[in-house]
């Protein structure tokens, strides 16, 4: 029970990496507070995760929605030992076809939302809190159509370094967890049909040296390490769980 007694907040936890991370954290003894946009999904996930969890509705691209979340967390008197900002917008598009609205949607969810949520969460963080931001191996490779998405994620890499230094006196650790291609429902958002989805999966597999996509649990295993006391000497860095995409 590596997380016994810890209280952890996870954003975007109703599917994929966020859900797998919540499941693993609970299995290791933590109480998980989680958020997502869809109230119906929150209810279903709450039933699956059980009494060691509590879900809240929040659109992390909207600062007003996040402020409402903070108010609710304050009312419950939560103090967090770890925070995993996992909610993200994975929209990809060809250069020349981007609209301002699509650009803003990606940056609002992937960098603006996390930045201001961290500011508001500061009074709710316990001593030696571990904060993990969800990056992407895309920041290390020149993947077509990923220009805006990768730019938003590399901004998180910078944030991890600068905030680790700026908040040293608060004994808060920031780290970036960067998954490689992972089999999650996010693929449905970038594929227009099942045939396109299968074709996309095969193309993605060819990017990965070990020729497969990750299971969300494999990313969640790295998350458990970063929130546990085992990683107390890990700060301001990036952990790649990408099947060798960035380095081979």
Return d(Cα 240, Cα 242) in angstroms, integer.
Answer: 6
Tell me which of 31, 149, 174, 223 is the catalytic residue.
149
Shortest CA distance to 11 belongs to which of 83, 77, 91, 118?
A: 83
Contact predicate 111/152, CB 8 Å: yes
| Proportion of the chain in helix, strand, coil states, percent, rounded to 5 | 50, 20, 30
Q: Which residues pair with 55 in a beta bridge?
A: 34
Contact predicate 27/48, CB 8 Å: no
Contact predicate 153/139, CB 8 Å: yes
Q: Is 149 a catalytic residue?
A: yes
Contact predicate 6/31, CB 8 Å: yes
231: left (phi over 0), alpha (psi -120 to 50) or beta: alpha
- Residue environment code for 160-172, b if the CB has 16+ CB neighbours within 10 A, otherwise e: bbebbeebeeeeb
Residues 6+ apart with CB under 8 A from 66: 58, 59, 60, 113, 116, 117, 120
Q: Give catalytic residues, as residue numbers.
A: 149
């Amino acid at each position: 029970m590596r997380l016994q007694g810890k209280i952890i907040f996870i954003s975007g936890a109703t599917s994929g990496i966020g859900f797998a991370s919540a499941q693993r954290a609970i299995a290791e003894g933590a109480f998980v507070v989680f958020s997502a946009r869809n109230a119906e999904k929150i209810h279903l996930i709450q039933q699956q995760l059980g009494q060691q969890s509590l879900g809240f509705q929040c659109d992390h691209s909207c600062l007003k929605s996040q402020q409402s979340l903070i108010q609710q967390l304050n009312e419950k008197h939560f103090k967090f030992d770890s925070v995993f900002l996992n909610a993200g917008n994975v929209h990809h598009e060809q250069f020349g076809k981007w609209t301002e609205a699509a650009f803003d949607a990606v940056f609002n969810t992937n960098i603006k939302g996390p930045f201001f949520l961290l500011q508001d969460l500061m009074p709710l963080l316990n001593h030696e809190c571990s904060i993990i931001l969800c990056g992407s191996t895309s920041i290390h490779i020149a993947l077509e159509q990923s220009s805006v998405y990768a730019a938003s994620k590399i901004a998180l890499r910078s944030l991890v370094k600068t905030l680790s230094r700026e908040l040293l006196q608060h004994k808060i650790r920031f780290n970036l967890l960067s998954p490689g291609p992972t089999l999650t429902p996010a693929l449905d958002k970038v594929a227009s049909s099942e045939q396109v989805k299968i074709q996309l999966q095969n193309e993605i597999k060819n990017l990965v040296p070990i020729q497969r996509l990750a299971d969300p649990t494999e990313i969640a295993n790295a998350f458990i390490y970063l929130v546990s006391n085992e990683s107390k000497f890990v700060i301001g860095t990036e952990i790649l769980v990408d099947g060798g995409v960035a380095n081979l």
